[in-house]
Amino acid sequence: MSVIWFKKDLTVEDIQPLGKNTMGEHLGMIFTEVGADYLKATMPVDHRTKQPYGLLHGGASVALAETLGSVGAALVVDHEQLICVGQEINANHLRSVRNGLVTGVAKPVHIGASSQVWEIKIYDEREKLVCISRLTVAVLKRKG
């Protein structure tokens, strides 16, 4: 399988600074793996990410999905020439989680010149599917 990233030797260490001072950092998201065509990150299920019933908040799942998909989209283009901005996201919440960590895995469905579509699956610690999401981003020329 060929590497999709603009920087072919991309590492987790390259990605970590992108989360500094963002919602992802506030929610405890940590990038954990870069594959040839996917990104992984974890997020704790704790006081920051739960809703009043003590379950993982659907919005927190969507925040993890959008973070993974957006970062993935940005990393397949020449960042000096192009930017990627979210256009649409949807999510199906399939299973509840009360504690522990969830892991999101983002893979591209379509990488085009003007748009990208990413599928993000979120799993609990038992590797049960918790949420599936699809993110569409626009690829725009960076304004000089």
* 74, HSE (Cβ side, Cα atoms, 13 Å): 16
Q: Which of 120, 76, 125 is nearest to 98 (CA)?
A: 125
Q: How many CB atoms lie within 10 A of CB 80?
A: 7
| Given 33, 66, 80, 88, the catalytic residue | 66
Question: Phi and psi dihedrals of 97, rounded to 5?
Answer: -135, 135
What sign for the dihedral angle of Cα 30, 33, 34, 35? negative
61 close to 93: Cβ distance less than 8 angstroms: yes
Is 13 a known active-site residue? no
Q: Which of 42, 11, 29, 15 is nearest to 122 (CA)?
A: 42
Q: Which residues are catalytic?
A: 66
